[in-house]
């Protein structure tokens, strides 16, 4: 299924810590078909929670990733997940996603500022190189 929707290889494959054996089978099957390991990183995380309860179909408390991606970019969702400790339950919250979005915006602004400063400094260095010392 992952090859159908994501391609033969993709960045991150994650799942609950209770299905590690399933992922070992998935690696063996994919490698047997394509000769490639399907994901660069395998993250076996603890359970995703919603208001302190494990998120699951059987409990009827699921939020689909496609719904989250309508409001937040994939980068924001990845940043949110990767900034939690993967062996502890992750509490799904809009507040945490908003915090991740703001943090990424700050990082982007800092990156742009650094690039701008770098360009300005380079320009000034070039101007200074044009000056010759007085004799």
Question: Is there a contact between 53 and 73 (Cβ–Cβ < 8 Å)?
Answer: no
* Secondary structure (H, E, C), 79-109: HHHHCCCCCCCEECCHHHHHHHHHHHHHHHH
Confidence band of 128 (pLDDT split at 50, 70, 90)? low
Question: Is there a contact between 68 and 39 (Cβ–Cβ < 8 Å)?
Answer: no
pLDDT of residue 116: 77
| Residue 72: pLDDT over 80 | yes
What whole-number distance in Å separates Cα of residue 106 and Cα of residue 95? 17
pLDDT of residue 42: 75
Condensed to tens digits (0 to 9), the pLDDT of residues 23-60 reads: 777 778 888 888 888 888 877 778 888 888 888 889 89
Confidence band of 94 (pLDDT split at 50, 70, 90)? very high
């Amino acid at each position: 299924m992952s090859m159908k929707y994501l391609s033969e290889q993709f960045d991150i494959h994650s799942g609950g810590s209770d299905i590690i054996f399933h992922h070992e089978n998935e690696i063996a099957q994919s490698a047997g078909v394509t000769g490639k390991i399907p994901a660069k990183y395998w993250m076996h995380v603890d359970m995703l929670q919603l208001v302190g309860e494990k998120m699951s179909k059987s409990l009827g408390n699921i939020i689909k990733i496609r719904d989250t991606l309508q409001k937040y970019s994939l980068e924001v969702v990845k940043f949110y997940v990767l900034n939690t400790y993967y062996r502890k339950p992750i509490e799904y919250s809009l507040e945490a996603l908003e915090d991740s979005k703001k943090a990424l915006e700050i990082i982007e602004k800092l990156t742009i500022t650094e690039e701008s400063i770098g360009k300005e400094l380079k320009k000034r260095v070039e101007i200074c190189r044009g000056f010759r010392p007085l004799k």
